[in-house]
Chain A
Amino acid sequence: MFKTEEMEINLGPQHPSTHGVLRVKLHLDGETVTRCVPMIGYLHRGVEKICEDKTFFQGQVWTDRTDYVAAISNNLGWVEGVEKLFGITTPRRAHYIRTMLTELNRITSHLLWLGTHALDIGAMTVFLYAFREREEVLSIFEAFCGARLTTTAFRIGGLREDIPPGFEKQVRAFQARFLDCIEEYETLLTENRIWKKRTIGVAPLNAEDAIALGVTGPVLRAAGSSYDIRKAFPYAAYAEMDFDVPTQTAGDTYARYLVRLAEMRQSHRIVNQCLDGLPEGPVMAKLPKVLKSEVNEVYHAIEAPKGELGYYFIGEKGSQSPYRMHIRAPSFINLQALPKMTEGRLLADVIAAIGTLDVVLGEVDR
């Protein structure tokens, strides 16, 4: 009487919940997803190829535009990778300021995630409060380097300038009220019955699958693994910082939400430690006029807000630009977990799964 067959639909590429130009091809049996294929490449600009033509100094501006939500983390990966390639030692004060800004950047990235993810699922209010605090941190970035989003904050060998006068006061004013702000988000979401119904048990990913797929960052830590590059392979000034790596065991959307909120609290702790222990001294190392690389290769990984962000350089003898540059983008690799998380589940959960993975399409496609 009724003919039932599988239906193939597209989610995206221009859908408000895909956070950019992500197209997801879905095979549906009624409301159940039987097959899910993320189709990427709509934002491909060829950053890796462009950087082969640019010098090591110039290439940094492209890292702002891969993960544009966490530009400072990307800048840090680039400059530390290049410093590793040339064996440049950066002053300790520069390390502290870098760590502080990267942690503030983690807060902005998580706030944007929290706002948009809650908006996708149906909680409008959190979005407004999250963006209120994000605005404040963005003006801290503006005070430090002059731009809010495409920061180009650091330089190879240190920083361009020391922190401006009044900067510490501005950061401390934000730090003083941020913990109360997290309390406000928690009031709106953590105990909320609609939020709990919508997230607990939705889009689960266990630690075994996560490790097999190469998933890193909060998604992995919500599944029970405590892998964090800040602890495992300390870079910048993280070896001197005292912080915890928050983990959960459930591995569902609610667990990832709890992990990210706890990470914001830890970032807040690290920023305070950086401000208190800020050493005196120069912020820029002595550099040769022209950087020349010998033939060697370097992989430098940092813990970006989304996961392990790696920069891989191959230097060319006598050249000022990398012979080959590769970015191990956390969003790109985390997105591969989407079929695992959604197949056999409901269509509405795909939206929650995309949101909870926290992908930035600029970084997926590069």
Chain B
Amino acid sequence: MASSLLRTLIPFDIYGGMKLTGKYFGKVLLQSNRGTKRTHIVVEYPETPVTLMPRYRGRLQMIKDEQGEIKCVCCLACEKICPTQVITIEKGKKEGRKTPYPTRYDFEMERCIFCEFCVESCGFDSIILNHQFELAAYNREDFSHGTEGVFQNMYDLTPVGHYSVASEE
């Protein structure tokens, strides 16, 4: 009786919550987030790079081999498996190359859902999803990454985005 009255008068329950909040408030106040050691959750993104996992699924990119030649041989496996049909390939020939050569490899990024089925289906390891995640553009045409294009194309990373990839361990 007396204890229940005391508990109603003195808010022990509220005190417990306030103590916890105060503990974390003080901890964050006394530590800085800009050091190398990660002390709290919030990442101040443009100033501090984001840490991505090695398997992160970003934008589709085509791989070239050591001779600077495109690995893709136009088997159309990626075009077939794509759930949203964003990949269009045109087969062509190139002088001095035995296998077919993609004269056109269109990737409409605005409809891509980054499921990685295309990379999985590729038997020649000629495409990957890279670690690029800043994918905004001003014009709709900029989302269609073809094999040509100075600012955005299928071979190179666009020079935006600030990230680092976590090590395997």
Selecting from B16-24, B95-103, B137-145, the interface stretch reads B16-24
What residues of B have a CB within 8 angstroms of the CB of A194 in the complex?
14
Selecting from A29-37, A185-193, A254-262, the interface stretch reads A185-193
Contact with A along B75-117 (1 / 0, CB 8 A): 0000001010000000000000000000000000000011111
Contact of A164 among B81, B113, B168 (CB under 8 A): B168
What residues of B have a CB within 8 angstroms of the CB of A62 in the complex?
83
- Closest CB-CB distance, A146 to chain B, in whole Å? 4
User: If the complex has contacts A139-B53, A191-B13, A193-B14, are A57 and B20 also in contact, measured as CB distance less than 8 A?
Assistant: no
What residues of B have a CB within 8 angstroms of the CB of A166 in the complex?
168-169
User: If the complex has contacts A57-B81, A58-B83, are A145 and B20 also in contact, measured as CB distance less than 8 A?
Assistant: no
| Number of interface residues, chain A, beta carbon within 8 A | 31
- Closest CB-CB distance, B109 to chain A, in whole Å? 15
What residues of B have a CB within 8 angstroms of the CB of A54 in the complex?
83
What residues of A have a CB within 8 angstroms of the CB of B169 in the complex?
165-166, 169
Contact with A along B149-169 (1 / 0, CB 8 A): 000000000000000001011
- Whether the pair A144, B55 counts as a contact (CB closer than 8 A) is yes
Q: Does A135 contact B (CB under 8 A)?
A: yes
Contact of A58 among B13, B52, B54, B117 (CB under 8 A): B117
- Whether the pair B14, A125 counts as a contact (CB closer than 8 A) is no
Q: How far is the CA of A34 from the CA of B11 in the complex (A)?
A: 36
- Whether the pair A147, B114 counts as a contact (CB closer than 8 A) is yes
Contact of A193 among B11, B41, B52 (CB under 8 A): B11
Q: Does A61 contact B (CB under 8 A)?
A: yes
- Whether the pair B41, A135 counts as a contact (CB closer than 8 A) is yes
| Number of interface residues, chain B, beta carbon within 8 A | 27
Q: Does B71 contact A (CB under 8 A)?
A: no
Contact of B17 among A144, A165, A187 (CB under 8 A): A187
Contact with B along A120-136 (1 / 0, CB 8 A): 00000100000010010
Q: How far is the CA of A135 from the CA of B41 in the complex (A)?
A: 8
- Whether the pair A57, B17 counts as a contact (CB closer than 8 A) is no
- Closest CB-CB distance, A320 to chain B, in whole Å? 11
- Whether the pair A143, B16 counts as a contact (CB closer than 8 A) is no
Name the interface residues of A173-222: CB closer than 8 Å to any CB of B. Answer: 184, 187-188, 191-194
Q: Does B56 contact A (CB under 8 A)?
A: yes
What residues of A have a CB within 8 angstroms of the CB of B20 in the complex?
184, 187-188
Q: Does B120 contact A (CB under 8 A)?
A: yes
What residues of A have a CB within 8 angstroms of the CB of B13 in the complex?
191-193
Q: How far is the CA of A313 from the CA of B12 in the complex (A)?
A: 55
Q: Which residue of A lies closest to B83 (CB)?
A: A58
Q: Does A225 contact B (CB under 8 A)?
A: no
- Whether the pair B55, A142 counts as a contact (CB closer than 8 A) is yes
Q: List 21 A-B contacts (CB under 8 A).
A: A54-B83, A57-B81, A125-B17, A135-B41, A143-B53, A143-B54, A146-B116, A147-B56, A147-B114, A152-B116, A160-B120, A161-B55, A165-B168, A169-B169, A184-B20, A188-B20, A191-B13, A191-B16, A192-B17, A193-B11, A193-B14
